[in-house]
Amino acid sequence: MSRDTRAYLSIQNAMMGGAKPNSPNPNERWGKRQAMQYLAKNSNVNGISATFVSSGMFKNNVPMAFGFRFGHPQVPEAPLRPFIQPGTFGAPTNIAGFLVTITRSIDAKTGPVVDTVGLAEGEAMPTCELLARQITIAVTVIPVDPSADALPWTIEVTAAPVDSIDCDSLTEINGWVIAQIPNPFISGYRTLVSGIVDDDPLVTAVQLITENPRRKQFSVMNVGTIPVAIGFGPPYQYSLTPGKPFFPSWGTTALGSFPFATLILPPVTGGIYSRYESPIDGFAGEVWAIAKPGLSPAIGVLNVMEGSQSVL
C-alpha cells in the first residue's frame, strides 16, 4: 500500500467516518473522464462547462492533490496526456481555449475562494496540490465560432486528500510562461530550417531558451514533420577530433547525417507528438536546436515552454 493511500485511509477514518460530525457523503465526486463537446444548437456562446470534482466538506483544511489529463480531439484513439496537444485549439477543432475554475472552502466564515487557470497548447497544469476543506473543479471549453459545433475533447480530472504538500506550491507566484519569441514567429513556437548535410551547424542552429538560473522546468515538443536535434549548452562546443561534428549537430561531413546532440525529437507521427520535459530544478543553461539537414524545403517547428511553480 502506497504512502498516499495509507494517508487517504487515515484521513478518511479521522474525518469521514460515519460517527464524525459533518462527515461527507462517500459518494461525492472525486473525479471523472468526460468528452466535452460544444454544440451550437444547445450551448452557451461562452462555451460548455462541466464539474469534474466536487468533494465532501472536511472539518479542517487538508492537502488536496489533483491531476489533469487531456485527449486529442483530432485523434480520439490517442492516449490521454498530462498536457494539451498542439492542434487542439483553432479552426480544425473549433476550440478557442480552455479554462479551469477551482473553488475551495478554507474557513466556514470566509466564504469560497475561486482560482482560475487558462492553459495553452503544450501546457500542463502548473500545480497539483492546494490546502482546502472542500474543493470543486470545473472545466470550460470555449468555441472559436459559436455558430458551429466543436469536436469532442476528452478530459480527465481526479482529486484526493493526501498527507503532505509542497510549500513552494503555496508561495510561488510565477507560473508557466510562454517563451518570448520575436516576430515573425508565433509566440511559443520556433521555426528551424533544414540545411545541407555538409553545412556548418551554427548556420541553422536556433537558440530555444537562454540561460536562466531561476528556471524550474522546461519542455520542448516537436510539432513539425522532420526530426530535430536538441542540445543542452552553447552550440559553439565542438570536438577537435577529425570527422566529428559540432555540438549539437546531425553531422557535418559527407559520411552521412548522424545524430550528435543531447537528444533527438522525432517528427509528428499519426497525430502523436514527441516531447521532452526536463526534471524539476534540472538543467538551467541555454538550449539549442537543429533541424535534420538534407530535408529542405521542409521546415522544423518546435513548441517551447519555460516556467516555474504554481500560478495559484
**Cβ neighbours, 10 Å, residue 233:** 15
Note whether residue 242 is domain-resident.
yes
* Domain C-terminal end among 170, 201, 226: 170
**Tens digit of each residue's pLDDT, the chain (312 residues):** 556 555 555 655 554 444 454 455 556 788 999 999 999 987 777 899 999 999 988 888 999 999 999 999 998 888 898 889 888 998 899 999 999 999 999 988 888 999 999 988 888 887 888 899 999 999 999 999 999 999 999 999 999 888 877 766 655 444 444 444 443 334 478 889 888 776 666 678 888 988 887 788 888 999 998 999 898 887 655 555 555 555 555 555 444 445 567 888 999 888 788 999 888 888 888 898 988 888 888 888 999 988 754 333
Asked if residue 190 and residue 109 are part of one domain, the reply reads: no
Asked if residue 145 and residue 14 are part of one domain, the reply reads: yes
What is the structure's pLDDT at 246? 56
**Rounded distance, CA 136 to CA 235, Å?**
47
Condensed to tens digits (0 to 9), the pLDDT of residues 77-118 reads 888 988 898 889 988 999 999 999 999 999 888 889 999 999
Note whether residue 81 is domain-resident.
yes
In 3D, which of 137, 307, 118, 142 has the Cα closest to residue 209? 307
**Rounded distance, CA 166 to CA 228, Å?**
35
Note down the domain range covering 109: 3-170
* Domain C-terminal end among 139, 170, 201: 170
* Domain C-terminal end among 170, 195, 223: 170
Asked if residue 196 and residue 92 are part of one domain, the reply reads: no
What is the structure's pLDDT at 186? 40
Asked if residue 18 and residue 106 are part of one domain, the reply reads: yes
Note whether residue 222 is domain-resident.
yes
Asked if residue 190 and residue 162 are part of one domain, the reply reads: no
Asked if residue 166 and residue 73 are part of one domain, the reply reads: yes
Asked if residue 209 and residue 68 are part of one domain, the reply reads: no
What is the structure's pLDDT at 297? 85
Asked if residue 51 and residue 88 are part of one domain, the reply reads: yes
Note whether residue 312 is domain-resident.
no
Asked if residue 42 and residue 14 are part of one domain, the reply reads: yes
Helix, coil or strand: residue 145: coil
In 3D, which of 166, 168, 121, 172 has the Cα closest to residue 311? 172
Asked if residue 263 and residue 194 are part of one domain, the reply reads: yes
Cell numbers linked to 8? 487517504
What is the structure's pLDDT at 169? 61
**Cβ neighbours, 10 Å, residue 16:** 20
Asked if residue 243 and residue 150 are part of one domain, the reply reads: no
What is the structure's pLDDT at 221? 92
DSSP string computed for 114-133? EEEEE--TT-B-S--EEEES
Asked if residue 242 and residue 127 are part of one domain, the reply reads: no
